[in-house]
């Protein structure tokens, strides 16, 4: 595949919808698509680095799992999906960016119960370039997070398009002057960020992140980071932690496909550590970049 040197998309942005590559402004789905009407769909987002998807199979593994939990088939074979993904990167001429994949149960007459013989799933792909200046600033200076109540549904392990609670949490965080929201369950434990995985570094250097369950999304970047941490023999614990524990941590950071090990320097306005990105966070970012090949992480 041709590698593109430009990091910003040209005016002719391209979307993929059900077998067709379309000008972005002309792309759309049927008014009765079940994702629009009922939130009946899932999505994935993969980073694109040097013109190629990062952690590609991890994202497709999670996509297949999410669809399976909803009783939906993959929209096409994995090999075909990879071809379309690369074609999207080539047509959009984005070397550094993000590729979004959305799959829905398709367009049928509105009914809460899924149809017994549904149409082929709707498949949508879009892209956007990375704002490298903004990402670099977050990595260098760190960001603030705001704790918000976790009001999401009980199956957060499925990456569905039902993101209204996440949106409300992010909106509240931005009003509080923070970049991200850390969601807190009824017992006072942090689950995850509104669109990220939450991590802290304890006083003894142990890296801590919440254990997998229906309460959090199994992050692909999280998985690769855990593997990289284990390879480096850094002590790690997958367990619950409270906001109070996080505020006393040596360091804190978050991760997602849009950025690995982004330093968190304040929580609810309270400084974490010395208020600057810490050495463990920087080390984990380097380990992840080396393992995944994502040099912008």
Catalytic residues: 159
Helix (H) or strand (E) holding 69: helix 56-69
Nearest to 261 by CA among 297, 223, 233, 219: 297
Give ∠ CA 124-126-131 in degrees, rounded to 5: 155
**Separation of alpha carbons 287 and 292, rounded Å:** 9
Residue 43, Cβ density class (10 Å: 0-12 exposed, 13-18 middle, ≥19 buried): middle
Query: 287-290 — which CB contacts under 8 Å span 24+ positions?
Result: 287/225, 287/228, 287/229, 287/231, 287/232, 288/221, 288/224, 288/225, 288/228, 288/255, 288/260, 288/261, 289/260, 290/228
* Measured CA distances, 44 to 58, 100, 160 (Å): 10, 6, 9
Compute the Cα dihedral for 87, 93, 95, 98 and give only its sign.
negative
Residues 6+ apart with CB under 8 A from 61: 220
**Separation of alpha carbons 202 and 249, rounded Å:** 5
Nearest to 227 by CA among 83, 219, 200: 219
**Separation of alpha carbons 68 and 121, rounded Å:** 13
Nearest to 6 by CA among 68, 80, 94, 87: 94
């Amino acid at each position: 595949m041709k590698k593109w040197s430009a990091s910003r998309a040209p005016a002719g942005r391209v979307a993929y919808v059900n077998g067709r590559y379309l000008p972005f402004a002309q792309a759309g789905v049927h008014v009765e698509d079940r994702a629009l009407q009922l939130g009946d769909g899932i999505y994935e987002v993969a980073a694109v680095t040097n013109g190629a998807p990062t952690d590609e199979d991890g994202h497709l593994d999670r996509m297949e799992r999410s669809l399976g939990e909803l009783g939906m088939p993959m929209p096409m074979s994995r090999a075909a999906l990879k071809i379309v993904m690369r074609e999207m990167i080539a047509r959009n001429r984005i070397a550094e960016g993000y590729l979004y994949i959305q799959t829905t149960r398709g367009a049928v007459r509105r009914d809460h119960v899924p149809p017994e013989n549904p149409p082929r799933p709707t498949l949508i792909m879009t892209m956007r370039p990375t704002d490298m200046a903004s990402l670099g600033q977050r990595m260098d200076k760190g960001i603030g997070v705001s704790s918000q109540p976790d009001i999401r549904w009980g199956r957060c392990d499925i990456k569905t398009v039902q993101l209204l609670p996440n949106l409300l949490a992010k909106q509240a965080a931005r009003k509080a002057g923070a970049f991200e929201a850390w969601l807190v369950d009824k017992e006072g434990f942090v689950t995850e960020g509104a669109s990220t995985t939450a991590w802290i570094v304890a006083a003894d250097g142990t890296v801590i992140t919440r254990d997998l369950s229906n309460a959090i999304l199994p992050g692909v970047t999280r998985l690769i980071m855990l593997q990289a941490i284990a390879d480096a023999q850094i002590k790690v614990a997958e367990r619950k932690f409270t906001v109070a524990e996080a505020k006393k941590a040596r360091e804190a950071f978050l991760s997602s496909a849009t950025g690995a090990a982004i330093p968190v320097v304040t929580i609810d306005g309270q400084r974490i550590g010395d208020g600057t990105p810490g050495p463990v966070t920087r080390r984990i970012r380097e380990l992840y970049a080396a393992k995944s090949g994502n040099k912008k992480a």
